[in-house]
Amino acid sequence: MHLINADLHCHSNVSDGTLTPEAVAERAAANGVALWSLTDHDEVGGQHRAHAAAASLGMAYLPGAEISVTFAGKTVHIVGLGFDPDDPHLLQGLADTRNGRERRARDIGAELAKVGIPNAFEGALKFVGNPDLISRTHFARYIVEIGVCADPHDVFRRYLAEGKPGFVPHSWARLSDAVRWITGAGGVAVIAHPGRYDFTPNEEFALFSEFKAHGGRGVEVVTGSHTVAEYARYADMAIEFDLLASRGSDFHDPSESHTDLGALPDLPGKVTPVWAALQDRILRP
Ligand code: AMP
Ligand code: MN
Ligand code: MN
Ligand code: MN
């Protein structure tokens, strides 16, 4: 059960990845992924294509999404797995969460113009695959293209991370709503890459406690966003909070992403994999 090559977190050009859902499926299968989920940001528009591609490649599939949430003044990501991608409440919640991205992006463009990067909104749009889902990643790709920064990570560090000149605060979904949309559609909610949030221990405890109280059931333990020390730390947290453990690369692009699809260590033996609780939701080829 632990040793299955599951990759339950990655992105296509339906959000801020660069490959089509079909191309992500092919790359996952080529890398030996046996259970796959495409988890585009705030969007399930690629789910039927991803499932069809997985089926044609002989790969088991779980519908997925990564929902943007505001908690304790910071952005937290909640991955949903194994839900019905046509559930009307989930679709409406995601549409509401996406709403406001264009306004925010125009504001990011205006802030970047003040620090000497004009026309960034128009520039970012050239990289957008889904007009409803303009993201900071698209700005990062544009700013690399014009030669201001060497790579997207550098753009975040200098311009787009919280506190930097191009950062525009935004209010995303509520934690309770995101968990409810996922569970209401028959899925399991998972805290994405908890090591990335820079929370104090008290804030992190509050996130895990409230997430559980709302019906959340899982946490990412092995992810491309965690260090080896964080695999161990969040395996301990999974046990302490009685949460299922997930595994996913957070792959976005062959050259940008340092962790390729399926190229992750196995989950530590002491945790229960999230797919153990999703056996009846897995779409088998
Ligand atoms: P947004 O949803 O528009 O706020 O964009 C968030 C996305 O930006 C994340 O999903 C990542 O893909 C990307 N991102 C965030 N921080 C970084 C970073 N330091 N380096 C590269 N990409 C990042
Ligand atoms: Mn992303
Ligand atoms: Mn994320
Ligand atoms: Mn992600």
**CA quadruple 227, 231, 237, 238: dihedral positive or negative?**
positive
pLDDT at 1 over 80: no
- pLDDT band of 3, cuts 50, 70, 90: confident
Q: Whose CA is nearest to atom 18 of ligand 1?
A: 153
Beta-carbon contacts of residue 130 (< 8 Å; ≥ 6 apart): 13, 14, 15, 43, 45
- Output the CA 247–ligand 1 centroid distance in Å: 19
Q: Which residue in the block uniquely carries the two structure tokens 């080896």? A: 228
- Output the CA 249–ligand 4 centroid distance in Å: 8
- Output the CA 15–ligand 2 centroid distance in Å: 7
Q: Going edge to edge, which strands form the sheet with 244-248?
A: 64-71, 74-81, 188-191, 218-223, 244-248
Decide whether any atom of ligand 1 lies within 6 Å of the 80 Cβ.
Answer: no
Q: Chain-wide mean pLDDT for the chain? A: 97
Fold of 6-97+171-277: TIM Barrel (3.20.20)
Choose which CATH entry (1.10.150.650, 3.20.10.10, 3.40.50.1100, 3.20.140.10) describes domain 101-160: 1.10.150.650
- Output the CA 285–ligand 1 centroid distance in Å: 32
- Give per-residue pLDDT as tens, 148-192: 999 999 999 999 999 999 999 999 999 999 999 999 999 999 999
Decide whether any atom of ligand 1 lies within 6 Å of the 137 Cβ.
Answer: yes
Structure tokens at 264: 């992750």
- Establish whether domains 6-97+171-277 and 101-160 are of one fold: no
Structure tokens at 78: 């909640």
Q: Which residue in the block uniquely carries the two structure tokens 């709403």? A: 99
| Ligand 1, pocket-test mutation among 12, 16, 170, most atoms within 8 A of CB | 16
Kindly list the domain boundaries of the chain, sorted by start residue.
6-97+171-277, 101-160
Identity of the residue numbered 85 = P
- Output the CA 106–ligand 3 centroid distance in Å: 22
The pLDDT assigned to 150 comes to 97
pLDDT at 2 over 90: no
The pLDDT assigned to 64 comes to 99
pLDDT at 57 over 90: yes
pLDDT at 118 over 80: yes
- Output the CA 179–ligand 2 centroid distance in Å: 19
Cα→Cα distances 211→72, 79, 102, 125, 270, Å: 13, 12, 28, 34, 22
Q: Average pLDDT of 212-217? A: 98
- pLDDT band of 269, cuts 50, 70, 90: very high
Ligand nearest to the CA of 251: 4
Beta-carbon contacts of residue 100 (< 8 Å; ≥ 6 apart): 170, 171
pLDDT at 193 over 80: yes
Ligand nearest to the CA of 153: 1
The pLDDT assigned to 123 comes to 98
- pLDDT band of 119, cuts 50, 70, 90: very high
Q: Whose CA is nearest to atom 12 of ligand 1?
A: 137
Decide whether any atom of ligand 1 lies within 6 Å of the 47 Cβ.
Answer: no
> Could you give phi then psi for residue 74, rounded to 5 degrees?
-120, 160
pTM for the model stands at: 0.98
